[in-house]
Structure formats: C-alpha cells, structure tokens
Amino acid sequence: MTNKRENINIATLNLNGETWWSINRRPRLPQKLFNIQYIKKELTKSCIIRLGEILKKEDYDVIAVQELVYSKKEREKIKTAIEKIKDVNGKQLYELFLPKNLKGSVHFTVGYIAKKKLNATLNNISSENNLSNNRIAKLKFTIHDNEYSIINMHVNKHDIDIPSVNKNTILLGDMNACSEEQTTDNKAVNAGFLEKINNAGWLEVRETGQIYTWKSNGVEKKLDHIYVYRDFASHKSIENKVDSTVNFYYDKRGFTDHSMLTITLE
C-alpha cells in the first residue's frame, strides 16, 4: 500500500458509571422523595443523547471510555444507540468494544467506541498487582499496514506495574493522579504513579496551556492522561485538547463529571 498520510483522532472519557451505581446507597427515604429508577433512566438517556451528538460528527476514530455502566439493560441501550449511528452511505459507523467474561459483580467497565473501518479487535489484559479486567483493556487496529494499539486504564490501585512500552502504542485513561502542576490547589494526587509511567518510557502528550479534566469543591485537577511511545514525540502533528462541554460541572449540556481529553496523530 502507499504511504499515504492521514490523521487519527483519539479521545478518552470517563462516563461516570460509578456514580450511576452509587445512588443505590441512598438514605432510607420514600421513593417519592428519591426516585432511583427515574434518576438512572435520565442518566442513561443523557449519556445516549450526548454521545450520539458527538459520534454523528464523525470527528473521532476511537473514544476510549471508562466507567461505562455494566448493568445489562443500560449497557445494551447504550450499545444499540452507538451502533445505530450511520455514515453518509447509510452504513454502521461505530461499534462498541467491551471486555468479555468479566468476573464478580461488575458495576462498570472500560471499553472502546471505534469506527468500523478500523477493523479493530479488543484484548482483555491484566496488570500485575490486581488491576481488575474491567479496568484495563487493549484495542488493536491497522492503518496502511501499520498496527497500532491503545491501552485504556481506569486506575484505582497505584502499586500496579506499568504496561510495557511498544512502538505505535498509546496509553491513556483515568489515572486518578495528578502532579502539583496539574491541579489548581497545587496538591499532587498519586504523583508517584505518573512518575512510574514516565520512568517506564512513556511520554505524556502535553497541551498548550494548562487544562483540567475534573472539578470538585472549586478545585480543578487533570486526572485523565494520554501517553505515547517516545518515537511519537517527533511527530509535529501531535495535538492535545480538552472538550469540557461533556462535563456537567463546566457546561449544562454535560452528562459526566469528567472532561474529554483528545489527541490527534498524523
């Protein structure tokens, strides 16, 4: 094949599924005062509508997601809505990839929304020191005879081993970690974990100016990160941005409590 150049747009987004599940732990109140089913229904509806709006623009080739609700009913609604989206020729545009054979009581999972033209495949992987398989997965796809991989992580244990660095590989996700420079109160969170990633040979894609992806009590933090194989560092076309319109703490159209971090590679 020819060495034709093209851009690939990749994003990472936490869908707030843990909050969806945690509302079960409500105070003992009458249903008329706290209608759980109504809240869940509206959360799922909001997720489907806004994801649909984003995907119909066809801007992203892959969106790596964390905390996608794993309850069968809601999971199938989201999957069906994603896979109903058509391109200009009326063909299915995206497909949803989720890890299989998850063990135990799984409330949410990582996954990928990827364009069908990529002919992508998903691999369940596990890290050392017990990062569960609903929190890490690898997507593989090929462009012009070159194989690429994305490792998606939703980190809750920061003593885990870091995935090995390989050519044409991207590491991203909700790391639940930030350095002093990545928070408005200058208080680092699990910064040692980010240092482990850097020391393992990954290079964080830095944005122009400071961006944050999560907000609580007025404090903003960059908890979501994208890392690349160091050879990608020579690509002048690398561009890192944040979309805060998906975050309900920044925009009334938001449907999750994280902003979407995006990267464009040539």
Instruction: Print burial letters for 82-104: b (CB count within 10 Å at least 16), e (below 16).
Output: beebeeeeeeebbebbbbeeeee
Give the integer Cα–Cα distance in Å for 255 and 251. 9
pLDDT by 10s per residue, the chain, length 266: 345 667 889 999 999 988 877 877 766 777 777 788 888 889 999 999 999 999 999 999 999 999 999 988 999 999 999 999 998 899 999 999 999 888 778 899 999 999 999 999 998 776 655 788 899 999 999 888 888 999 999 999 999 999 988 888 999 999 999 999 999 999 999 999 999 999 999 988 877 778 999 999 999 999 999 998 876 655 555 678 899 999 999 999 999 999 999 998 87
Q: Which two tokens mark 219?
A: 């404090």
Q: What residue type is assigned to position 115 of the chain?
A: K
Strand partners, 64: 12, 112
Q: If you count them, how many residues does the chain have?
A: 266
For residue 123, the cross-strand partners are 138
CA angle (108 as vertex; 103, 112 as ends), nearest 5: 100
